[in-house]
Amino acid sequence: MSAVAGPAWLVGARSALLGSNTNTASAIAGDGLPTDSRARRYVLRDHAGSLLVDHRVARCGWDATDPSGVAVTRKGERLGVSGVAVCGSVWACPVCAAKIAAARAVELEHMIDVWRAQGGDVWLLTLTVRHGREDGLMANLDALTVCMRRLWSGRWGQAFRRRHGIVGLVRNLETTWGAENGWHPHSHVLLFTDPDAAYVIAPDVARDELSVRWMALTADVGLGADDEHGVHIEAQPLAMDASGLGEGQHSAWLARYAVKMASAQSDKAWGAAQELTWSHIKRARGERFTPWSLLASSVKVHDGDEHGAAFLFMEFVEAFHRRKQLVGLAALRRLLHLGDVVEDDALAEAGDEGAVEIARIPVPAWRWLRVHGLVPAMLAYGEAGGDECLAQFLLSAQASAAARSGPSAWMLGREAVVS
C-alpha cells in the first residue's frame, strides 16, 4: 500500500505519530478530557478499567474476536470498529453504555409510537425517596427496589392499574450524588394506558393516590418520601427540553427522557426513553453529579479529591452490579407483539446495520493502537478525510510502531489492509 498525502492538515500525520504520544482526536476540555464525545468515552472506559481491575470493563475493547483482525467499518460518514470483544456493561463502561442506551431509546420510541397508533397514551412517572449524606447507596437501592415491586405487584397496585387503565409499564433505576445530601436513587416509569379503558387516567388524581401509597411503602422500609417531591407524573412532555414540540415528537421526547444517555460529556434534548436509559451517563445539574461525571472527575484528581470521586464511582458500580437498567420491557413487548427482548450484551456486540468494512487491522496492530490511545484519532481521521486519510493514518501508525518497538509490534511489518 502506498502512502497518500490527504488534505494539508493530515500531511504531518506520520511525523506527529513518530514524534509524540498522540492519544486523542480532539481538543481538551477544562476537565482534562477530550471534547470529542467518542474520544472522551474511550478515555473514560480505560480509566474505569484501571479503577475496576477485576471487572469485565478492564478488558473491554482489547481483544479481537476474529484472528484475522479488527474490521474498520463505514456507514455514511461515520466510522466504527467490529470484531472486538466488549463488556456490555451499562453501569461501568461508557462505550458500551452509550451504544446500549442509543438502541434502547430507539426501541422505546418505537413502542410508544406503536401504542399511540392504537389510541393509547404514555405518561412519565418519577418516584423519589428521602436521602442523606451518610446513607449507603446499596442499602437504599435495595429498599427502593422493594418499594417499587410492592407498589405495582400487590393488590393495591393491581387495583390502581385497573382503575386508571394502565396495561403496561417499564421502569428504570438511577442515581445522582451531591456533597450535601449524598446519593439520590430514584426511578422513572413509563405508564402505558389502555385506549379502551372506561376511565382514563387523570394525572392529579393518580398522583394523589400514588403519593399516599408511596409514602407508606417507603416509611415501611425506613426511607420515607415527602408529599411534594416523592411522586411526579408528566401527562404531556411539556417540561425540560420538550416545550414547543410538535405532534409526532412526543414519543421521541418520552423515549429520550427515559434513557438519558446521549453522551458522557453533555446534556442533549431529552425524551422519556432517554430518561430511562441514558440516566447515569448525562451530567446532573447544579451541585449534583451523575456516576459518569464522578468518573470524569476522578481522571484528573487522584490526590486531594475532596469528594473521593473514584471511590464514589466504584461504590456506584458495586451497588448497581447485576441490576437491570430497565424492568418491564419483555412484558411490554409481548403486549405490543414485538417479539423478544435483545439483551444488553448483544446490543453492545452488534455492528451498525448496513455498515461496510473498509479496512482490517492485524490483531497486534490493534492492540498497539489501543495501548497508545489512537483508536478515536484513527476513526476521526477517516471520517474527516475519507479512506485515503485512514490509509495514511494506519501507515504512519505502522511506522511509529516499528520505530518505537520494532517491526514485531505491528505483526512483523504487515500492513493494515484498506479496501
Domain annotation covers residue 158: yes
pLDDT confidence of residue 397: 83
273 with 256: CB under 8 angstroms?
yes
pTM above 0.75, yes or no: yes
Report the pLDDT value the prediction gives residue 134, as an integer from 0 to 100. 82
Please indicate, yes or no, if residue 343 is contained in any of the structural domains: no
- Residue count of the chain, please give it: 419
Q: End of a domain among 324, 358, 388?
A: 324
Q: Are residues 78 and 197 in the same domain?
A: no
Residues of the chain with pLDDT under 70: 1-31, 195, 197-202, 224-229, 234-286, 301-307, 405-419
Q: Is residue 115 part of a domain?
A: yes
Helix (H, G, I), strand (E, B) or coil at 359: strand
37, 265 in Cβ contact below 8 A?
Answer: yes
Q: How many domains does the chain have?
A: 2
Q: 354 and 209, same structural domain?
A: no
Is residue 329 in some structural domain?
no
Q: Can you name the residues that pair with 418 across neighbouring β-strands?
A: 359
43 shares a domain with 151: no
Considering the domain architecture, whether residues 363 and 270 belong to the same structural domain is answered as no
In a shared domain, residues 149 and 190: yes
Q: Are residues 206 and 265 in the same domain?
A: yes
DSSP 82-119: ESB-----TTT-HHHHHHHHHHHHHHHHHHHHHHHHTT
**Helix ranges, 321-386 (H):** 329-335, 344-349, 363-371, 375-385
> Is position 114 within any domain?
yes
Q: Residue 20's pLDDT is what?
A: 40
Which of 324, 339, 366 marks a domain boundary?
A: 324
Do 191 and 80 belong together in one domain? Answer: no
162 and 82 share a domain? Answer: no
For residue 280, the model assigns a pLDDT of: 52
Q: What is the pLDDT of residue 253?
A: 59
Give domain status of residue 342, yes or no.
no
**Is the same domain home to 201 and 290?**
yes
Give the domain range for residue 300: 99-324
Q: How far apart are CA 223 and CA 184, in angstroms?
A: 11
Asked if 128 and 154 sit in the same domain, the reply is: yes
Whether 15 is covered by a domain: the verdict is: yes
Backbone angles phi, psi at 142, to 5 degrees: -60, -45
Q: What is the pLDDT of residue 23?
A: 43
* 335 within domain boundaries: no
- Res 262: pLDDT: 36
pLDDT attached to residue 342: 93
Alpha-carbon gap, residue 321 to 51, rounded angstroms: 15
Q: Are residues 103 and 220 in the same domain?
A: yes
Q: Cα(279)–Cα(270) distance, rounded to whole angstroms?
A: 10
Q: Are residue 156 and residue 21 in the same domain, yes or no?
A: no
What distance lies between CA 344 and its chain's CA centroid? Answer: 11
| DSSP 3-state of 310 | helix
